[in-house]
Amino acid sequence: MQLSEEKRYRLLVDAIVDYAIYMLDPDGMVSSWNSGAQRSKGYTAEEIIGKHFSSFYLEEDRLAGKPEEGLLRARTEGRFDTEGWRVRKDGTRYWASVVIDPVWDDDGTLVGYAKVTRDMTAQQQGKDLLRKSEEQFRILVQGVADYALYMLDTQGLVSSWNSGAQRIKGYTADEIIGRHFSTFYTPEDRANHEPERAMRISVETGRYEKEGWRVRKDGSTFWAHVILDRILDGEGKHIGFAKITRDITDKRDADMALAEAREALFQSQKLEAVGQLTGGVAHDFNNLLMAILSSLELLDSHCRDDPRALSLLANATAGAQRGAALTQRMLAFARKQELKPTRVDVRELVRGISNLLQRSAGPTVTIDTLFPLHINDVLVDGNQLELALLNLVMNARDSMSEGGRIIIATRPETIQHEPHRTGLPAGHYICLAVSDEGHGMDTQTLQRAMEPFFTTKGVGKGTGLGLSMVHGLAEQSGGRLVMHSAVGRGTTAEIWLPMAPLQVESTMEAAQLPSEPAASVVPSEALTVLVVDDDPLIAMTMNAVLSNMGHQSLEAHSGRRALELLESCGHVDVVITDYAMPGMTGIQFAERVKERWPTLPVILASGFAEVPEDFAIDIFRLPKPYGRAELKRALEQATR
């Protein structure tokens, strides 16, 4: 059957179900309806033909004259297309793509309009979701205040700017967009082409990450963590960079403080370990020197008629005395020396020894002092502080081979927050500083400067214990020795000491004299002395010295054995005991003695500062190493 052309077009149009294709008369009344129109709008042909096409518009669009405007524009412009919400028969809405074409007859008379409508709801929903997602992402990026998030074009020019970037870098979007991101780099980094290097690495590898100094709008710098990511389009073409910058200045400062604290702790632990070893060695060396010095004194009376022997004996005694001084420095470093802290005016102390310091420094060195008008006292052993100051001045002199200037200065310091760079607890301190113009020390030398026996001086020019002694004195006095130095910039040694309280007494003097008199023994008479020492060499030497002095002596190598001798022997005038003994210390032994024989004098012989000061018994002190004269005075004092 042969179909007419009109019939074929009608069948074709009616077969299209994805598009609503229908005709309107010149007044906008529906005059034809295809199956696609029925499917998308819900009306059958019988229900809609003859009705105005504005039935498909929203109420507000009808009131605004949108249907009439569409017909007018189609008639005057030859075509009208738009998108918008339309209404189905059941009242539901859908997003429609609409095209209205005018239809003219051969003589140019308008006969109606061809209208094509497509349901684009799914596509519009996708666009809405995409737009909403993009808007949310934009709000998210803009809302990030702790990170600078912005875009660069392929040349490095800023093309977007978030609030975090403005907060961190100080520029508004209007001020920075279009400018090169090298604006944020330091002049040194720009001179080294660091911005270009960052872009090159990002293009080649896809990512660049680094930390470094960056510059804000006001010229201040901050430590930044920077990421520069390459951006490619869907075809793999490079279209720009994504830049993320975070201000981590606080984190860097905290990390550096933590690293310094760890290093300080490591140095402290290392010095503590070395100090314990040094203290033990010094204690044993003290005992050996006791035996040597006492034996040399005994030999002195036997060599009076031999000048050569006397000369050799004098040399040996001088060497032993130098060894005794060395052990005192070792004990000072180990914080085991015996100190007698009193109130000390540092300013007056320095002035009192200024002539000695200047003579020791020599004519090529000038010593200047810088003191405030008023400064608080410190609690320290004044004699030991003088020796420490002399050591520091000698070190300063030795560092200036051609002479120079040494400055001794004091200043008050208050530590309010911990941890402090000195490692000291919160409190009030006086800082005594000795500065020179010498060659200075590098970092490695500075870290080892306070270690015992470490020295940069030539052979025979130093023991390496000067700074160790100063360190030990400061630590034992509740302070700290702090060294500052750099090659070519000299050295400053600071002794930090705690300020003395308003009222303080010497912590050592109270134990020197007994509160009650002991048994009265005439010093010129021979005494019976009990010597208690776990070192047989010391006990034997002491017996020989006492015998030479005209006294009778008994020997015990432990506190337990000494108590047994006291129980069994008939009479003892005085007891001399070591402190550091196994099983029972000298203090514990003395307390047992005082319980059983309350009037028996006890002399404690020790070079340790670890002897407690709060014991309740009367006891006499005899610092090691001691000679015949010191022993004689101690016996006279104890038996007075």
List, for residues 505-522, the tens digit of each pLDDT value. 433 333 333 333 333 333
* CATH architecture of the domain formed by 342-498: 2-Layer Sandwich (3.30)
* CATH architecture of the domain formed by 5-121: 2-Layer Sandwich (3.30)
Confidence check: pLDDT of 127 > 50: yes
Which has the minimum average pLDDT: 54-68, 433-447, 464-478, 522-536?
Answer: 464-478
89: three-class secondary structure by DSSP: coil
Q: What is the mean pLDDT of residues 101-121?
A: 90
User: What span, in angstroms and rounded, lies between the C-alpha atoms of 63 and 54?
Assistant: 10
What was the pLDDT predicted at 459?
41
User: What span, in angstroms and rounded, lies between the C-alpha atoms of 528 and 546?
Assistant: 9
Q: Long-range contacts of range 419-422, CB-CB < 8 Å, 24 or more positions apart?
A: 419/257, 419/261, 421/260, 421/482, 422/480, 422/482, 422/496
Q: Which residues of 405-417 are buried (b: 16+ CB within 10 A; e: fewer)?
A: ebbbbbeebebee
Averaged confidence pLDDT in the chain = 81
> What token pair was written down for 328?
């005192």
Confidence check: pLDDT of 333 > 70: no
Confidence check: pLDDT of 187 > 90: yes
Confidence check: pLDDT of 503 > 60: no
Type of residue numbered 515: S
* CATH architecture of the domain formed by 512-638: 3-Layer(aba) Sandwich (3.40)
Among the listed residues 541, 579, 623, 555, the one whose alpha carbon sits nearest the alpha carbon of residue 288: 541
Pick 441 or 193 by higher pLDDT.
193
What was the pLDDT predicted at 606?
77
pLDDT tens figures, 13-44: 665 667 888 899 999 999 989 888 888 899 99
What was the pLDDT predicted at 281?
59
Confidence check: pLDDT of 352 > 90: no
What was the pLDDT predicted at 26?
93
Give the strand order in the sheet containing 238-247. 147-152, 238-247, 221-232, 207-215
User: What span, in angstroms and rounded, lies between the C-alpha atoms of 434 and 627?
Assistant: 35
> What token pair was written down for 383?
């004699």
Q: Would you identify the CATH topology of the domain 144-247?
A: Beta-Lactamase (3.30.450)
What was the pLDDT predicted at 537?
79
What was the pLDDT predicted at 108?
87
Which has the minimum average pLDDT: 147-161, 211-225, 338-352?
Answer: 338-352
